[in-house]
Structure 1
C-alpha cells in the first residue's frame, strides 16, 4: 500500500541468549527488511540482563542496516545501548515521567515536586535552552504540580523531550568526533543519579 514504508525484523526470545541469537540469524536473511529491532526487553528484567542480551545479539545483526531497541529507555539506557551498537530508540519515558514531575537534567534526575524547590528561582536545568527553562522557575513549575494545574505537566514534558533531543544530538556529535567513550564516562552514571543541585 505504501511503497515507501519500511519493514523491520524484530528479534525476540526473552532473556534466552541461544534463542535470541538463532532468531536473529533467521530474520537477518530476510532481505526485504530495512532494519532490525531488538524487542521484548525493558519489561521488568534487570538492566544488566538487557545489556547482556544486546551484546549477545548485536554481532549477528547486519552491519549495514539500522538497529533499533524497542521501548527503551532512560538516558543512561540509551547511552549504554549506543555503546553496544544500537542506532535508535522509542520510549514513553520522557513524557510519562514528566507528567508525574520527574525531570531529566544534565545533573541527574529531578523530582520537581520536592519541597526543596518550593522557592527555587532557577530554571529546571541551567544548562538547558528549552522554552520551559528559558521562561519558568523550578518554584513556579512545582507550584503548578502542587496546584494540579495541567500546565505543569505540559511544561515538564516540553523540557524532557527537549532534553532527550539534545541528548541524541550530543551522542551523534560525540560519535562523529571520536569521543563517545569520553561522553559515556562523563554522563552514563551521572544521568541516572539523583540531582543534588
Structure 2
C-alpha cells in the first residue's frame, strides 16, 4: 500500500532523500507530519495546512475511538471525508496514549483502562486497534505496541518487547490490507533489547518501521545513542519513522541517522502559549520586550503571519488573551517546521547537509550537542 524509493544518501551521515508513494499522493522525505489528534491540527484549517505544504498529517486511533466513535466515522465514510482532508493520513495505534494513562492493567491479551471521558471500561487489544484504524481508513496504520516509561526495570522492558512482538503478529493477522501497516521497534534504552525487538519486528511483512519508546522524558544524549543504534537495525528499502519528535534539535538528529518521517504536537502546543520557532531559536512573544516591536516573528520566514503581522501586535493579542494570537503563532510554527524539513531535503540533494547543520548551530537554532563530532 506504500512504496518507498531511496533517491540519494548524504556522503557525511546516514541522512537520506526519498519518496513515499501512497494511494493519496507522493510524500517527499524526510518529512515532518503535523498532528491532528482529534481530526484537527489544533488552530489550523485544513486548507491552511495545504497552503503551507503539509503532505501528510496524523490522526489518533485512541482519541477518535472515544469521540466521535466508530459509528460516526463509518457514517461519514472514513476520516478523510469526516474532516475534509484528501491528502495522506497516518494514524497512531493508541499505544502511546494507553502508555500515558496512569491506572491501567496490562496483560498479554491487551490493556484494560477506564475511559477518560465517561469512566467506562475499555479493553484495548491489537485487534481493536486494527479495527479502529481500518474504520478510520488512514493511508498508514500503526501496529499496537507497548511503550514503557523510562523508570521501568529491564525485566519489565524484556517482557514488553516480547509482548510488542506478539501484538505485532496479531495486528498483521487481523489487518485486512486496505492500508499500509508499520511495525514498531521497542526495547526501552537497552541496546540488546532494541536489537531483539528490531530482529523480530523487521522479520514480519510490514510496509515500514517505526522507532518507538524514545523522547518519553529521557535525556537527549540517551535519545541520540539509542536512535543511532536502532536505525542501523532497520531495513534500508522501507520507510523509517521516529515517533513523537518535532524540535529542530531532534529533527536534525533523526535525519542524520536515516529517519524519514517524524511527528509532534510541539509546534501548536508551544504556539498556543506564545512561543515561536525562528531561525535564531525560540522566542517568547508574551515577553514585554516585544510590546513595541514592529518586526515580524522571523525576518527570514515567508509565511503569511510574518508577511502581515508584527511581534508587537501578537504580543498585544496574548496580553488580551485573544484567540487570534494562538492561531497566528501555531500557523507560523507549523510553516516553520515544514520549511525547515524542506531545506533539509534541499541540503541532502545538494550534498550540503553538513554545512546546513553548521548554519543552524551558528544561528542558534540547534544546540552544540546535536552536531556530529567532526563538525
- TM-score band by shorter chain is over 0.9
Query: Pick from 282, 289, 298: which aligns with 1:116?
Result: 289
Query: Pick from 158, 183, 193: which aligns with 1:19?
Result: 193
Query: Pick from 339, 351, 355: which aligns with 1:166?
Result: 339
Structure 2 unmatched ranges of 5 or more? 1-133, 138-176, 368-375
**In the alignment, structure 1 residue 80 sits paired with structure 2 residue 253:** yes
3-state SS, counterpart of residue 184 of structure 2 = strand
- Tell whether the 8 Å contact from 1:69 to 1:89 is kept in structure 2 after alignment: yes
**What do you get for the CA RMSD once the two structures are aligned?**
1.3
Distance in 1 (CA, whole Å) between partners of 2:258 and 2:361 is: 15
CA distance change for structure 1 residues 69 and 188 in 2, over 3 Å: closer, same or farther? farther
Distance in 2 (CA, whole Å) between partners of 1:90 and 1:4 is: 23
Distance in 1 (CA, whole Å) between partners of 2:183 and 2:352 is: 31
Distance in 1 (CA, whole Å) between partners of 2:193 and 2:295 is: 50
Structure 1 unmatched ranges of 5 or more? none
- Please give the TM-score of this superposition, normalised by the length of structure 1: 0.94
Distance in 2 (CA, whole Å) between partners of 1:180 and 1:117 is: 33
Q: Which is strand-richer, 1 or 2?
A: 2
The Cα of 1:5 is off from its aligned counterpart by: 1.2
The Cα of 1:155 is off from its aligned counterpart by: 0.3
- Structure 2 matches for 1:8-87, cutoff 5 A? 8-31=182-205, 33-87=206-260
Distance in 1 (CA, whole Å) between partners of 2:207 and 2:226 is: 22
3-state SS, counterpart of residue 297 of structure 2 = coil
Compare CA radii of gyration and give the structure with the larger one.
2
Which residue is 2:278 aligned to? 105
The Cα of 1:192 is off from its aligned counterpart by: 3.8
CA distance change for structure 1 residues 15 and 97 in 2, over 3 Å: closer, same or farther? same
Query: Pick from 150, 171, 179: which aligns with 1:5?
Result: 179
Aligned length: 192
- Please give the TM-score of this superposition, normalised by the length of structure 2: 0.50
User: For each residue in 1:54-91, what CA deviation from the matched residue of structure 2 results, as whole angstroms up to 9, or x when unmatched?
Assistant: 11111110000011000002011101110111111010
- Tell whether the 8 Å contact from 1:28 to 1:62 is kept in structure 2 after alignment: yes
The Cα of 1:188 is off from its aligned counterpart by: 4.6
Distance in 2 (CA, whole Å) between partners of 1:82 and 1:135 is: 32
User: For each residue in 1:135-171, what CA deviation from the matched residue of structure 2 results, as whole angstroms up to 9, or x when unmatched?
Assistant: 1000000110110001000000010010011011001
3-state SS, counterpart of residue 181 of structure 1 = helix
The Cα of 1:4 is off from its aligned counterpart by: 4.5
